[in-house]
């Protein structure tokens, strides 16, 4: 597939997944207490507050990148994006999450989440699928970029639920897209025992659950 070909996952499906998973996470955030924000997560030294800030930033990149100006061409796609993202400095990602958490301090996190989701989905629907957006890894078609946001919100939504002691679940449409991306990134079929359990597959493929398969994790 060329970088300028349409994404196999239609943008309407990706946006529906963002909306549904985002609404589900709004329910999780609404039930959080102030004390929950200081809970540790399985992401190194990140707290729940920093994780939620990272989730908000991940969704906010849709309108932010749409507003950043058109890149000259498409230099990545919905799968190649992840090989380039793997080279990102995790310390920088964590620091940006901390800065964003401080920036929204004093505002209700739930309000920020809902506003960000509303704007992202709205602007995503209004823009054409072949619109190029500017990312740190080069230009990418909007329809290719949207599945990366679905994966982010789904995987980190599982992280958030785990940190809060909740069952690790996700909406079927978001989980389906996330599992599909990970299926495309691994060489060959899923390991034995993970073929019929999408959540277990996502956790193993992203290094959140142990696996004896040397191909895993495909993302961290």
Three-class SS of 177-207: HHHHHHHHHCCCCCCCCCCCCHHHHHHHHCC
Contacts of 64 (CB under 8 A, 6+ apart): none
Q: Domain map of the chain by residue range?
A: 23-205
Residue 183 exposure: Cα atoms within 13 Å on the Cβ side: 14
- 3-state secondary structure at position 212: coil
Contact 113, 28 (CB under 8 A): no
CATH fit for domain 23-205, picks 3.40.50.10800, 1.20.120.450, 1.10.10.10, 3.50.50.60: 1.20.120.450
Contacts of 89 (CB under 8 A, 6+ apart): none
What is the Cα–Cα distance from 17 to 173, expressed in whole angstroms?
5
Contact 103, 56 (CB under 8 A): no
pTM above 0.85, yes or no: yes
Distances (CA, A) of 93 to 27, 130, 135: 25, 28, 14
What is the Cα–Cα distance from 184 to 7, expressed in whole angstroms?
13
What is the Cα–Cα distance from 19 to 6, expressed in whole angstroms?
21
Contact 31, 163 (CB under 8 A): no
Its sign, for the CA torsion 36, 40, 45, 50, is: negative
Contact 151, 177 (CB under 8 A): yes
Q: Euclidean distance between the first and final Cα of the chain, in Å? A: 25
* Regions of the chain where pLDDT drops below 50: none
Contacts of 144 (CB under 8 A, 6+ apart): 3, 7, 74, 76, 77, 78, 81
């Amino acid at each position: 597939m060329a970088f300028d070909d349409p994404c196999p996952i239609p943008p309407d499906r990706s946006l529906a997944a963002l909306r549904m998973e985002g609404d589900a996470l709004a329910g999780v955030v609404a039930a959080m207490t102030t004390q929950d924000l200081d809970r540790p997560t399985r992401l190194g030294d990140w707290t729940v507050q920093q994780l939620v800030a990272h989730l908000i930033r991940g969704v906010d990149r849709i309108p932010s990148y749409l507003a950043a100006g058109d890149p000259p061409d498409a230099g990545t796609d919905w799968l190649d994006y992840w090989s380039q993202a793997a080279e990102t400095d995790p310390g920088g990602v964590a620091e940006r999450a901390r800065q964003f958490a401080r920036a929204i301090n004093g505002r209700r996190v739930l309000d920020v989440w809902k506003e960000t989701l509303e704007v992202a989905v709205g602007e995503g629907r209004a823009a054409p699928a072949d619109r190029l957006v500017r990312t740190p890894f080069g230009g990418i078609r909007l329809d290719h970029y949207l599945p990366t946001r679905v994966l982010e919100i789904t995987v980190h939504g599982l992280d958030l639920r785990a940190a809060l002691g909740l069952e690790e679940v996700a909406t079927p449409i978001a989980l389906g897209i996330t599992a599909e991306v990970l299926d495309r990134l691994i060489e060959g079929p899923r390991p034995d025992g993970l073929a019929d359990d999408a959540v277990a597959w996502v956790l193993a493929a992203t290094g959140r659950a142990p696996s004896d398969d040397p191909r895993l994790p495909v993302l961290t």
